[in-house]
A = this chain, B = another copy of it.
Amino acid sequence: MINARAEAFAPASMGNVGCGFDILGLAFEEPGDTVIVEPRDEPGVVIAAIEGDGGKLPRDPAKNSAAVAANSVLNLLGTPHGVSLTLHKNLPLASGLGSSAASAVAAAVAVDALFGMPLTLPQLLPACLDGEAAVSGYHPDNVGPSLLGGITLITGTNINEIRRLPVPDNLHCALVTPCIAVPTSEARAVLPEMVPLTRLVAQTGAVARLVDALYRGDLETVAAAMESDRIIEPARAHLMPLLAEMRAAAKRAGALALVISGAGPTLCAVCDSAPTAQRVAAAMGVLYDEAGIANVPRHTRVSTNGARVIAVT
């Protein structure tokens, strides 16, 4: 069964979630990328259009995360058909919001839907990872939460090494994205190769406290644990404009904590209600405005279900 057209959405996501470097991810309700696919008689993937990227994304299907993921799903399905793919980017690139992952996930889900949804979301993970690998690396930090939703614990690249953790009901997020690019490669290059054992103890303690607090629904401890990273943030702080000032401003506006989203520069403030998240996002935007830094403030929640099919015709 081949449909005429399928459209899917995959949400933005935050790697690390503060103290959980390379092991935790969190999917946001919004923003997210949308992919529309239509069948072709010829095999493989052609990119019909990409909108919203300012022309920055590669149009070569072999180098575009959405096209690579779409092609992997075609291979999984073993179909002789191909697809024509249109990508609507709503995520800024290199902003710490899992842009390439959202495109890959949306494409994988859309192709699956086009062919009648023979695969489950977990079964699409390898294809999404292929897409992410084409531009960033074979890691599920963003692909995992964008595909599955929620807050995910990631200890490997197999689906059984990705676990969803409980999400406190009152967890709201205020995001602010300054309009500067921090390529993940640059954010990785500043990290220390070696870490003092005492810091390891503090970091494992923070992660354990975070998981425990998620299960207990204790948002204040969740926030404190997220923020208690003393390894990654100090190494990257200089790449994030006004980080200390932004944390102070967010907390004055009612936030419980502020962390770097993934490799940055997007910052995520943890809040306990929608009105607080709205107020905190506005306050963060104003601080960047006053410093002459163009920015996009947002407030959102944790995505419950991850990627989804929007329409099939």
Residue A310 CB within 8 A of the other chain: no
Contact B197 A197, beta carbon cutoff 8 Å: no
Which residue in B155, B200, B215 is a CB contact (below 8 Å) of A200? B200
Which residue in B191, B197, B201, B209 is a CB contact (below 8 Å) of A153? B209
- Of the listed residues A22, A200, A208, A211, the one surrounded by the most CB atoms of chain B closer than 10 A to its CB is A208
C-alpha spacing A192/B196, complex, angstroms: 9
Number of this chain's copies in the assembly equals 2
A152-210 residues at the B interface, CB under 8 angstroms: 153-155, 163, 165, 191-197, 199-201, 203-210
Q: Is the interface of A mostly helix, strand, loop or mixed?
A: mixed
C-alpha spacing A24/B209, complex, angstroms: 11
Residue A212 CB within 8 A of the other chain: yes
Residue A23 CB within 8 A of the other chain: yes
Residue A96 CB within 8 A of the other chain: no
Residue A306 CB within 8 A of the other chain: no
C-alpha spacing A154/B212, complex, angstroms: 12
Residue A265 CB within 8 A of the other chain: no
Number of A positions contacting B (CB below 8 A): 33
What's the nearest-Cβ distance from chain B to residue A162, in Å?
11
- Would you list 24 pairs from A and B whose C-beta atoms are within 8 A, ordered by A residue? A20-B204, A20-B208, A21-B200, A21-B201, A22-B205, A23-B201, A23-B204, A23-B205, A154-B205, A155-B206, A155-B208, A155-B209, A192-B197, A193-B197, A194-B195, A194-B197, A195-B195, A195-B197, A203-B204, A204-B204, A207-B207, A208-B208, A208-B211, A211-B212
Binding site for B on A (CB under 8 A): 19-24, 153-155, 163, 165, 191-197, 199-201, 203-212, 215, 231
